Amino acid sequence: MAFSYWESNAWLEEVDLLVVGAGIVGLSAALNARSLHPDWRIVVVDADPLGGGGSSRNAGFSCFGSATELRSDRQTLGDEAALELVRKRWQGLQRLRATFGDNALGHRVCGSVELFPGEGNEAPPSARELEDLNRWIQPVTGVADTFIPVPSHSLPHLLGDARGPAILSRLEGLLDTGKMNRAFRSKAHASGIDVLTGIRVESIDTAEGNCQLKISTLSREEASIRPARLVVATNALGSTLIPGIDVEPAVNHVLVTDEIPDFEFPHAVHIDAGYVYARPIENRMLIGGGRHWGLDETATRNRLTALMHELWPVTEAAGIAYQWSGLLGVGKDRSPIVKRFAPNAAAAVRLGGMGVAIGMEVGRMAAEEIAMN
């Protein structure tokens, strides 16, 4: 079944910029492009009927990296490149909050704690390492004590058998992922950007310097679209449309408990260098991650559940009300890829599990890159 004349004319023709992916990066790219070119016709498409992909399935952490995550980034990238990466995350979070406001995002700065339960997890930084880390990151955060060691038993009574150190990062926070995505979508519509969901890009042909995309819909209509410019912002799925690009999908699992009477825990939580994370959602507890364990879905969820019960015994009596999985875009390191792959087409992918933080910066970079054409 083909698109009608009206559908083609209204949505698919004479597009100045087409963005593939209606998540944080894609919509940020579209909004920044609108600021640079108010007269452009901008269309964003997404295969997911709700749109957003990982941007609507993440845990809502407004975080720039735990102490052990940043230690790993420094080892992988070197001090200078790692600091620039953290700067992008920090700037992305500030841009996100300034654009929409904390209330619209359901955002609060509540701090995070990094815990080191049991054996086999990432070792905590020494006092000397933490002092060095604070000196290194101060040019970005503007404070001398971004990371503060605290005894885990000093945290609220909901912690169970955790022993040893914990590290408080007081500048990190949490937000409501659903509110964030609604805020992005509302601003896009208000800016005259068409957001079309349920449209899958099957392939991209950039031969002879032009872009031609084959698309399909849930009802199996098929068509081609020839935008003047293109941004691919599909993160984990970038290599399905751009062969050879260094990004691949990784799966994280997320569990949320039933409501727990009088449940309180004030912070975001990082465990095992950020591969596992937890947070309160009103009077529920969320735990997620586990992609590094190499286990199947059931085994990963069982292990996450056991860890949650160990650290917050009050959750043992609560059932699991929600469970889902989401894709992350990963590669040789956690720095994003923003580059042209054709004269009028750019990729903005590989967020490395930090999409909430760095997404708006990556979108801005992509818009500025493609706007030069």
DSSP string, 131-179: HHHHHHHHHHH--S-SEEEEEGGGS-TT--S--SEEEEETT-EE--HHH
In tens, the pLDDT along 138-170 reads 999 999 999 999 877 666 655 665 556 889 999
Identify the three-state secondary structure at position 360: helix
Share of the chain above pLDDT 90, in %: 80
For strands 165-169 and 112-115, give the pairing.
antiparallel
Residues in Cβ contact with 98 at an 8 Å cutoff, skipping those fewer than 6 apart: none
Q: Which residues contact 244 (CB under 8 A, 6 or more apart)?
A: none
Give the pTM.
0.94
pLDDT tens column, 42-90: 999 999 988 777 898 999 999 999 999 999 999 999 999 999 999 999 9
What number of helices (H) and strands (E) belong to the chain? 10, 20
Is the torsion defined by CA of 154, 155, 156, 158 positive or negative? negative
Task: For residue 353, give the nearest of 59, 10, 75, 67 by alpha carbon.
Answer: 59
Which amino acid, one-letter code, is at 25?
A: V
Mean pLDDT of all residues belonging to the chain: 92
Residue 130 CA to residue 150 CA, distance in Å, equals: 12
Alpha-carbon distance of 165 to 187, in angstroms, equals: 43
Domain ranges of the chain: 5-57+179-247+333-371, 109-172+248-329
Instruction: Label residue 183 by pLDDT band (50, 70, 90).
Output: very high
Rounded CA gap, 104 and 171, in Å?
19
Answer CATH for 5-57+179-247+333-371 from 1.10.3720.10, 3.10.20.740, 3.50.50.60, 3.40.50.2300: 3.50.50.60
d(CA 137, CA 82): 10
Measured from the Cβ of residue 349, the count of other Cβ atoms closer than 10 Å reads 27
**pLDDT recorded at residue 66:** 96
326-359 pLDDT, tens per residue? 999 999 989 999 999 999 999 999 999 999 999 9
pLDDT value of position 101: 98
Homologous superfamily (CATH) for 109-172+248-329: D-Amino Acid Oxidase, subunit A, domain 2 (3.30.9.10)
pLDDT at residue 369 in the model: 95
* 9-47 exposure pattern, b = at least 16 Cβ within 10 A, e = fewer: eebbeebebbbbbbbbbbbbbbbbbbeebeebbbbbbbb
DSSP, res 123: P
pLDDT, tens digit (0-9, with 9 covering 90-100), for 16-36: 999 999 999 999 999 999 999
Q: Look at residue 161 in the predicted model and tell me its pLDDT.
A: 57
- 297 vs 121, higher pLDDT: 297
> DSSP label at 264?
-
